[in-house]
Amino acid sequence: MKIGVLKTDDVRKELVGEFGEYPEMFAGLLRSQDPELEFITYEVQHGHYPNHIDEVDAYLITGSKTGVYDNKKWIPPLMDFVRELHDLKKPTIGICFGHQLIAQALGGKTRKSDKGWGLGVHTYEVQETPSWMSEPMNSFSLLVTHQDQVEALPPGGRVLASSEFCPMAMLQVDDHMLSFQAHPEFTKPYSNSLMELRREAFGEEVVEKGQASLQNDIHENVVARWMLEFLRK
């Protein structure tokens, strides 16, 4: 399977040497489950798109420090592309910003949450177990870094997992779009380094709580298998 990564941001320059860029993080995560996967990166933040929508089998939209509601010239064309993917029922996964963008582009609503920053390890309760989820769990935990949240579902959307902090944490739209607010591609060392780097912006108390949560288990490999099962169903 060939996956097109729609890259919407760059890793902070202070961290990229140790941890790589987002497409490398996703490739590492997903190839741990299937070493034969192929990846093509499209720098959509710079206006680079596939020549034809079917030159890959599926798409993955990365996270970004940008809000989907921000006045950036590259966001409306990306929303148009998401709507095209939806119309053509192209298998697509959205992560963090990608999760929010899918909802916003298809008629839902994303905004900055009054709950503030979510950092570190968060746990989600599974609300629905679709047939493609061959390894069902009652709950799962992943790393997060977000302030924005989806607050209204798009038509055809349903909530697969939620938490008190983030009620719309894992969504499925019809049978071809899946999205997560959390970051299965993040590692604990990367999350910790990011919190340290942005300690002043995040706030001392939130960072301390986020760093303390890193002792908890995460289920990135289970989620990676879910992602591949969804794309292949």
Q: Left (φ > 0), alpha (ψ -120 to 50) or beta: where does 107 sit?
A: left
Would you name the residues annotated as active-site residues? 96, 183, 185
Task: Give the CATH number, domain containing residue 8.
Answer: 3.40.50.880
DSSP code at position 159: E
Predicted confidence at residue 13, as pLDDT, reads 96
Distance CA(116)–CA(105), nearest Å, equals 23
Q: Give me 178's structure tokens.
A: 């899946």
Domain count, the chain: 1
Q: Is the Cβ–Cβ distance between 191 and 71 less than 8 Å?
A: no
Q: Within 13 Å and on the Cβ side, how many CA atoms surround 175?
A: 4
pLDDT at 116: 95
Report residue 34: phi and psi, to 5°. -150, 95
Least Cα distance to 186 among 100, 111, 96 occurs for: 96
In terms of Cα–Cα distance, which of 132, 96, 156, 100 is closest to 231? 132
Its domain, for residue 113, covers 2-232
Task: Output the pLDDT for position 67.
Answer: 96
Question: Residue 171, exposed/middle/buried by CB under 10 A (0-12, 13-18, 19+)?
Answer: buried
- Digitized pLDDT (tens) for each residue of the chain, 233 residues in all: 999 999 999 999 999 999 999 999 999 999 999 999 999 999 999 999 999 999 999 999 999 999 999 999 999 999 999 999 999 999 999 999 999 999 999 999 999 999 999 999 999 999 999 999 989 999 999 999 999 999 999 999 999 999 999 999 999 999 999 999 999 999 999 999 999 999 999 999 999 999 999 999 999 999 999 999 999 99
